[in-house]
Amino acid sequence: MTDANRTGRRSQAWFGAQGRSGMLYRSWMRNQGFGHEVLDGRPVIGIATSASELAPCNAHLTRVAEAVRRGVWQAGGFPLEFPTMATGETLMRPTAMLYRNLMAMEVEELIRANPLDGVVLLSGCDKTTPAMLMGAASVDLPAIMVTGGPMLNGKYRGRDVGSGTQVWKFEEDLKTGRMTQEECFFAEGCMARSAGHCMTMGTASTMACVAEALGMQLPGSAAWPAVDSRRMETAQAAGQRIVRMVEEELRPSRILTRRAFENAIRVNAAIGGSTNAIIHLTALAGRVGVPLSLEDFDAQARAVPTLVNLMPSGSYLMEDFCYAGGLPAVMAELLRGGLLHGGQITVTGRGIAENVADAERLDPDVITGLDAPFQPAGTGTAVLRGNLCPDGAVLKQSAASPHLLTHRGPARVFDSPEEYHRVADDPELDVDENTVLVIRNAGPKGYPGMPEVSNVPLPARLLKAGIRDMVRICDGRMSGTGYGTVVLHVAPEAAVGGPLALVRDGDPIVLDVPQRTLRLDVDEAELRRRREAWRAPAAPHRSGYAWLYTQHVEQADKGADFGFLRGCRGHEVPRDSH
Ligand code: FES
Ligand code: MG
């Protein structure tokens, strides 16, 4: 292990090396036209880009990388762009979530194996942001994130339409005959009319805001639309800043403290963010050794009202959010109410209070104030416990129907989402609006990958009768753009023998969100009998990555990371390769 060099920089273990090795490291860089002078010990900055045409939300990151590169040169660094895996939400099957850990592992290993002193993380689509953060946290070299920004507002027949959220509504309209297939094709183009990630407060926008709240991206970064020139300005500023961060040795471990996570949880509540943030933040906390339980999410968020009126919980979109002041305006308002740790250091080298000191709420309809919030405190994501979810489950109250938050109804059980979809349109399906739809085997191991399948559409017959919501319970996730009274992330999952596996048709299920409980009203002796008779389903994969995944993935309440990826493995220079 060598770390000797002229400047003390890690990259000089490569470019400053003597003899044959040094020659190899330098010579091949020169085939790209980099002269000897840029290998002189200046900070070498990796630009990790998850650009891919297979991840449409990230396809434009190549342009963002150019702006970052400019900033790095300006500040006296040496930028080197490299591709990472891109886990695109829309195309990847069985779910992008199956690959989040793989991407995080790749990001980590690429940073460590290469002559880098710092890294800029370019992400966008849902899983790419947490994967980048998790990977970088496990290396702990100075790192700054630049998310790619949301698409412009969708526009359909004079109306704003939100990506994701509107898909569920269009589907209902198609089913009930309010929309033709032709109209639907047209609407598809209206919904995604520029580069960028989903412009609702879905998981991508949520994670971009969370990254900013954690202090890992520059103030204001989360909201600039992907095609707004200020996105490029921000990227350039990030390129400049990472060079200084290397000099200051400002590493993720200094930024990602318990207080940063508390800030992120509170910001997530204030923006009406995605339930997926819970899983990703828990996994990230595991990388930096910050203890974070499901109850922390409920407890930290309880005093925080939802300030931001964005779909799916509200009516506006990210472009409006940007013009209304973006996340700095939200954070300034939370600080005013004493709801954030203002001294928490960020990539700017300053605390968040200083970062957002000049922020203003420019449109009080989009970003409401604490005195008249969009939704009162205590309506955020609830963490449930009970004999149906001993290790927890979550429910996004702001996306649920108030009348269903306390509910008792008979279970109708489906062993897979497909099993439900096969009969959902059957007019004879034996369910009514009081039925609790149980969809199981959609957890991390069971599916595998814990897909966003939990908010299954309502049975066609009930939709036609005007029913718009029913209680659904699942061990999978829900898209951040989804809505409905859906109990998610039930742990342990059915596939490992969690109580969800024991539910039978007709069993009464009692949901009491104010009391934070979810119970199966079946007596313990009967449940014991069922547990003894339960047999684990056959493993879906015997080899390959999916096998590795099912062997090592942890349950939802632990963040669904691989057990062996927990913690930080540092950035010591590896042994020589030649
Ligand atoms: Fe990529 Fe929504 S599909 S952000
Ligand atoms: Mg999503």
Nearest bound ligand to the CA of residue 95: 2
Q: What tokens were used for 41?
A: 């010990």
| Spatial contact of 133 and 121, defined as CB atoms under 8 Å apart | yes
Instruction: Tell whether the model's pLDDT for residue 148 goes beyond 70.
Output: yes
pLDDT value for 42: 97
Nearest CA to ligand 1 atom 1: 125
| Spatial contact of 200 and 311, defined as CB atoms under 8 Å apart | yes
Nearest bound ligand to the CA of residue 276: 2
Question: pLDDT of 238-271, one tens digit each?
Answer: 999 999 999 999 999 999 999 999 999 999 999 9
380-538 and 42-152+194-356 share a CATH fold = no
Which band of pLDDT confidence, cut at 50, 70 and 90, is reported for residue 4? very low
- Specify the pairing of strand 486-488 against strand 393-396: antiparallel
**Which of 68-72, 361-365, 460-464 shows the lowest mean pLDDT across its residues?**
460-464
Which band of pLDDT confidence, cut at 50, 70 and 90, is reported for residue 176? confident
Question: pLDDT of 499-529, one tens digit each?
Answer: 999 999 999 999 999 999 999 999 999 999 9
| Residue spans of alpha helices (H) in 140-228 | 165-175, 181-191, 203-214
Residue 151 CB–ligand 1 contact under 6 Å: no
Could you give phi then psi for residue 103, rounded to 5 degrees? Answer: -65, -40
pLDDT value for 166: 83
Distance of CA 126 from the midpoint of ligand 2 (Å) = 6
Question: pLDDT of 71-98, one tens digit each?
Answer: 999 999 999 999 999 999 999 999 999 9
Distance of CA 55 from the midpoint of ligand 1 (Å) = 8
Q: Interior CA angle at 287 toward 333 and 564, to 5°?
A: 155
For residue 247, what are the CA distances in angstroms to 77, 239, 354, 472?
A: 11, 13, 21, 51
| 94 exposure class (CB count in 10 Å sphere: 0-12, 13-18, 19+) | middle
Mean pLDDT over residues 8-18, rounded? 95
Instruction: Tell whether the model's pLDDT for residue 1 goes beyond 50.
Output: no
Could you give phi then psi for residue 129, rounded to 5 degrees? Answer: -70, -55
Mean pLDDT over residues 466-494, rounded? 94
**How far apart are the C-alpha atoms of 222 and 208, rounded to whole Å?**
5
Mean pLDDT over residues 3-23, rounded? 83
Is 52 or 4 the better-scoring residue by pLDDT? 52
Given the structure tokens 């639309």, which residue do they identify?
Answer: 225
For residue 315, what are the CA distances in angstroms to 124, 201, 289, 470?
A: 22, 10, 38, 22
Instruction: Tell whether the model's pLDDT for residue 5 goes beyond 60.
Output: no
Residue 318 CB–ligand 1 contact under 6 Å: no
pLDDT value for 172: 83
Residue 90 CB–ligand 1 contact under 6 Å: yes
Residue 202 CB–ligand 1 contact under 6 Å: yes
Nearest CA to ligand 1 atom 2: 198
Mean pLDDT over residues 562-572, rounded? 98
Question: pLDDT of 343-395, one tens digit each?
Answer: 999 999 999 999 999 999 999 999 999 999 999 998 889 999 999 999 999 99
Instruction: Tell whether the model's pLDDT for residue 150 goes beyond 80.
Output: yes
| Spatial contact of 86 and 125, defined as CB atoms under 8 Å apart | yes
DSSP letter (8 states) at residue 39: G
42-152+194-356 belongs to CATH 3.40.50.2300? yes
Q: What tokens were used for 355?
A: 């970062």
**Which of 9-13, 142-146, 156-160 shows the lowest mean pLDDT across its residues?**
156-160
Those residues with Cβ within 8 angstroms of residue 167's Cβ, 6 or more apart along the chain or in another chain: 191, 481
Candidate of 99, 125, 452, 477 to mutate for ligand 1, largest count of ligand atoms within 8 Å of Cβ: 125
Instruction: Tell whether the model's pLDDT for residue 167 goes beyond 90.
Output: no
Instruction: Tell whether the model's pLDDT for residue 6 goes beyond 80.
Output: no
Ligand 1 atom with minimal separation from the 56 CA: 1
Output the average pLDDT for the chain: 95
**Which CATH fold topology does 380-538 show?**
Glucose Oxidase; domain 1 (3.50.30)
Distance of CA 481 from the midpoint of ligand 2 (Å) = 7
Mean pLDDT over residues 286-314, rounded? 95
- Give residue 46's identity as a one-letter amino acid code: G
Which band of pLDDT confidence, cut at 50, 70 and 90, is reported for residue 3? very low
Is 177 or 206 the better-scoring residue by pLDDT? 206
Residue 567 region by backbone torsions, left for phi larger than 0, else alpha for psi between -120 and 50, else beta: left
- Specify the pairing of strand 508-512 against strand 406-414: antiparallel
For residue 122, what are the CA distances in angstroms to 3, 216, 242, 517?
A: 28, 12, 13, 39
Write down how long the chain is: 578
Those residues with Cβ within 8 angstroms of residue 129's Cβ, 6 or more apart along the chain or in another chain: 123, 145, 147, 204, 207, 208, 210, 211, 280
pLDDT value for 18: 93
Those residues with Cβ within 8 angstroms of residue 154's Cβ, 6 or more apart along the chain or in another chain: 160, 161, 162, 163, 166, 190, 191, 192, 193, 199, 317
Q: What is the ipTM of this complex?
A: 0.92
Mean pLDDT over residues 534-555, rounded? 94
Of all residues in the chain, the percent with pLDDT exceeding 70 is: 99
Nearest bound ligand to the CA of residue 191: 1
Which band of pLDDT confidence, cut at 50, 70 and 90, is reported for residue 7? low
Instruction: Tell whether the model's pLDDT for residue 2 goes beyond 70.
Output: no
For ligand 2, a single-atom ion, the residues with CB < 5 A are 89, 126, 203, 479
Instruction: Tell whether the model's pLDDT for residue 175 goes beyond 90.
Output: no
**Spans of all domains in the chain:** 42-152+194-356, 155-190, 380-538
